[in-house]
Chain A
């Protein structure tokens, strides 16, 4: 009998802990953060786990510093992450922009709580979904994933690292307090290093290396500090050499590529999961914790003879535009429950383009929807 050196592990843990375990499995070896409810348990778990695997945990003076330290660590060649919630997420926006501009692989987890401002620190919301997309100034594209269970936050954190390394972009795990604080079984499979994506390194000699000369997929290979490349990077608009160039032409070249490297690769990036969508008249489009209540509501509707289906957005950004457009020629209505006053529903409505009805099911936060609330929206749509 062959001995399996890394057997499958099963844990009964919270989403926050599962997130930290996902990061460790993904090869994350640097965490910088600042305590904040309801994301603190991620930092706590990382402070215990990282030194065990030779990594570094550091608690910074604020979230501005945390995000910067993560970028610095990534430029030293180490997979790095931070985790926060609303108020800290706002502070991180400044250097999320720097991360997008310098094309720095890293992962930022937001365990969402209700706002605005200090809001409801201990209670659930999904109110930062548009901030995730547009929160830092300027034009850029970002990748954001939304898990609905501790298992998914484990899996999606690994996926987040893979995507960030592949596309050289900060990737957001947009979770929420309910997922972060619920405990469920999490299966941790052995993850061989070769199955994880590592950023592409330059293949040319240092004197020929251009830090922002992209490959055909629009992503440039990345050198890291200390290897003799003597590269320069800047948050200013720059050319392929990484040098600042203050012209409309340089701006066009750079921003177009920063956006297009995500948009043109969106087919490979976007993931969603469908349940009973094939014949659905009513498509419930949900993400994060709301997926679970929506799934329940869809089943209740089916029991009443309504042909309802569920589209779970795994990747929220870039948006699953094409799939929703396809479904809009088949479905009569889209029902969009989310724990905010209507954010992602605006995207659904845009993609549906008037071919079907789009019905928001807003919920202000503090707790999750009741299945009945979603069910009555489905019933209304089916009339």
Chain B
């Protein structure tokens, strides 16, 4: 058992900037385990690490790019996806992964997210959803559950949240999955599948934020959320994303919801180049 763990640790270490550790994540935070799944997935999916580019926005999850020893970009708030779009279009050989949080990708970056899904550009978006703005101390966000307490909803949240798998699948994503950080094996497998799949892939990772969101919503320890995930998550692969709403303390539908084929932006662009070159031939 100990040997197995060492092998796992080693497989991750080569992808980490060890000189940047310790990391900034709080005790009980789910970002670390999700990052571990991503790094192991690179190995398992047999992806050339030299061709991987990791792009993050701003926030706790936005710090992930800074710990990964691959070409990594820590950009501005909400803009990881358009930055990644430029990288991918300019060098289609890159395996582009956006790793960021719900506030970054869904609120300030929400428009970029739906347009990237619509274009079906080949990239993998890993969205850590901890239901609030952790880095700034726990404010309400577009994923916070109704009635949830945050530092800016002292009387309970009065805005309904987005259902992320529903939003991105309706926008055109060809791979959509949701896991909690309890579902380590499934999450790792999903990330590997997504990174090897042409088109726009989106993986929502439900993650504890015990220090702020948890503390205000009666789950002050990381383990409280893990227990909640164990008791209330239901694996339903191929579930209709519209049935995947999450209510405060309610059940969490997890699984791979969408895995379909649709021409990618890159494929369509190649045809444009062919047409343009044809036209200029005399």
**B-binding residues in A (CB < 8 A):** 29-30, 32, 48, 51-52, 54, 56, 58, 60-62, 64-66, 68-78, 80, 94-95, 97-98, 102, 224-236, 243-244
Contacts and interface: CB of A to CB of B under 8 A. Distances in A.
B146 interface: no
A71 B86 CA distance: 7
B66 interface: yes
Nearest to B111: A61
A236 B74 contact: yes
A243 B91 CA distance: 25
A231 B71 contact: yes
A149 to B, nearest CB: 28
Contacts of A233: 72-74
Identify the interface centre among A51, A80, A236: most chain B CB within 10 Å of its CB: A51
Nearest to B76: A98
Nearest to A58: B89
B91 A76 contact: yes
24 contacts: A51-B273, A51-B276, A60-B82, A61-B111, A61-B115, A62-B111, A64-B82, A65-B111, A65-B112, A66-B82, A68-B75, A68-B86, A71-B83, A72-B89, A75-B87, A77-B91, A226-B93, A232-B68, A233-B74, A234-B65, A235-B74, A235-B76, A243-B17, A243-B66
B50 A69 contact: no
Nearest to A30: B90
A76 B94 contact: yes
B280 A52 contact: yes
A32 B78 CA distance: 17
B277 A51 contact: yes
Given A233-B73, A234-B74, A73 B65 contact: no
Nearest to A233: B73
A228 B71 CA distance: 8
Contacts of A58: 85, 89
B85 A69 contact: yes
Contacts of B20: 243
A94 B279 CA distance: 38
Given A230-B72, A235-B75, 17 more contacts: A29-B90, A51-B272, A51-B275, A54-B277, A56-B90, A56-B269, A65-B82, A65-B112, A68-B79, A70-B86, A75-B73, A75-B86, A225-B91, A226-B94, A227-B50, A234-B74, A236-B74
Nearest to A69: B86
A229 B89 contact: no
B66 A226 contact: no
B91 to A, nearest CB: 4
Given A226-B93, A230-B70, A95 B79 contact: yes
Most buried by A among B53, B65, B79, B275: B79
A31 to B, nearest CB: 10
B214 to A, nearest CB: 26
B44 interface: no
B90 A232 contact: no
Given A68-B79, A69-B83, A69-B86, A225 B112 contact: no
Interface in B40-88: 49-51, 53, 55, 65-66, 68-76, 78-79, 81-88
A226 B71 CA distance: 7
Given A56-B90, A226-B91, A65 B79 contact: yes
B73 A61 contact: no
A348 to B, nearest CB: 34
B81 to A, nearest CB: 8
A167 B76 CA distance: 22
Contacts of B277: 51-52, 54
Q: 6 closest Cβ contacts across the A-B interface? A: A72-B86, A51-B276, A69-B86, A76-B90, A65-B82, A234-B74
A99 B90 CA distance: 17
Contacts of A224: 91
Interface string B172-210: 000000000000000000000000000000000000000
A154 B72 CA distance: 35
Most A CB contacts (10 A, CB to CB) among B49, B53, B85, B277 go to B85
Contact of B86 (A76, A229, A243): A76
A52 B71 CA distance: 30
Contacts of B89: 30, 56, 58, 69, 72-73
A124 B182 CA distance: 59
A54 B76 contact: no
Interface string B77-118: 011011111111111011000000000000000011001000
Nearest to B24: A244
Contacts of B79: 64-65, 68, 94-95, 98
Nearest to B274: A51
Interface string B8-48: 00000000010010000000000000000000000000000
Nearest to B51: A226
A77 B71 contact: no
A161 to B, nearest CB: 15
A74 B89 CA distance: 11
A237 to B, nearest CB: 12
Contact of A230 (B66, B71, B73, B275): B71
Nearest to A234: B74
- Among A75, A225, A232, A243, max chain B CB count under 10 A is at A225
Given A65-B79, A98-B75, A230-B70, A78 B112 contact: no
A73 B94 contact: no
